[in-house]
Copies of this chain bind each other. A is one copy, B any other.
Amino acid sequence: MARRRRGNTLAEIGEDRLLAGLMSELSSSPEVQVGPGDDCAAIRLGGRDWLWTCDAQIEGTHFDRSWMSARQLGRKAYLVNASDVAAMGGAPRFCLVCITAPSSMARRDVLAMQRGMAAAAAADAAIIVGGNIARAGELGVTVSLLAEAPRSPLLRSGAEPGHAIYVSGRLGDAALGLASLRRDRAAKGLAVRKFREPTPRLIAGRVLADERLASAVMDLSDGLLTDLKRLCDASGVGARVEIPRLPMSRAVRAAGVALALSGGEDYELLCAVPAQREDALMSLRDDLGCSMTRVGVFTRANEGLVLVEADGSTRAARAAGFSHFGSVQRPTR
């Protein structure tokens, strides 16, 4: 194939339009409970449902080798997949790992990477059952994760006007940590740790699914506004986000709310909660393993994505988070 042909490049059309095109062509089958478009596929195998997802960490796109140790990279490659599973309420069980690595890489780094991955999986009672290693110019780690599905997997498509918008944990830490590492690869602190080692909200996801607390859920990997737009599109709704309510550390607040709105890699949960389930959610908040903060409300689709400032003024939000193609956020390529 030619490196560039007439027609649009990925940079020109962007990730979401590309994925929409890809997804529209896939066929289905009775065993596929949830197909492309959610955080995981859900398939029926031997009489029960499993969640299945894959995600890659690529040198130059997701990380620079000076930003994290091999062990940390292996751990993160697992954790970002576990976050997809958390978003649908599942429990990770089995991983396959595809490593692509330059010949110059040290064996001890590959071993450390695998150890980090295996330890992170073991903490969730999941195990690595196999994998593959191939030579490449760039280091890449692709994890494929199979997880037990809850009775009703959480999807992106169930939000309705009037349902509340909740997010878990805090927003913007990972983006702040990434900015720190880009300035100084020896940077330390909470934000750097959050970038290197996200915390998949597996317990919260499981409780949300089992107690039917949420009408829609996804994980925040590409920034609140970008991902909220995706959830709105999947559900056919709009959203109104109250800026003062966004859960942020003091450092993120000082660095600017844009980090919380558009910073990627938070790996927190974004949830739609029907009004009649909000009390139940609050009564279970000690069982979630993380805080849940109400940051706004879903509206009718024609209202779009609206941001409400502290003084009550509103403005239309433009999703400006990370997109793999055509992005300005992750700046390494």
What residues of chain A have their CB less than 8 Å away from a CB belonging to chain B? 1-5, 7-13, 15, 18-19, 21-22, 25-29, 31-32, 35-36, 40-41, 43, 45-48, 50, 52-56, 58, 60-62, 65, 68-70, 73, 93-94, 96-98, 100-112, 114-115, 118, 122, 127-138, 140, 142, 144, 146, 324-327, 333
Contacts and interface: CB of A to CB of B under 8 A. Distances in A.
B134 A326 contact: no
A61 to B, nearest CB: 5
18 contacts: A5-B106, A10-B103, A15-B133, A18-B107, A22-B110, A25-B114, A26-B118, A27-B122, A28-B127, A29-B127, A35-B129, A45-B48, A55-B132, A55-B134, A56-B132, A98-B98, A98-B144, A138-B138
Given A41-B96, A46-B46, A136-B138, A35 B5 contact: no
Chain A at the B interface: SS class = mixed
Contacts of A29: 127
Given A1-B70, A46-B45, A10 B101 contact: yes
A76 B330 CA distance: 31
Given A111-B25, A130-B35, A136-B58, A96 B10 contact: no
Contacts of A2: 65, 106, 109
A36 B96 CA distance: 10
Contact of A5 (B15, B101, B108): B108
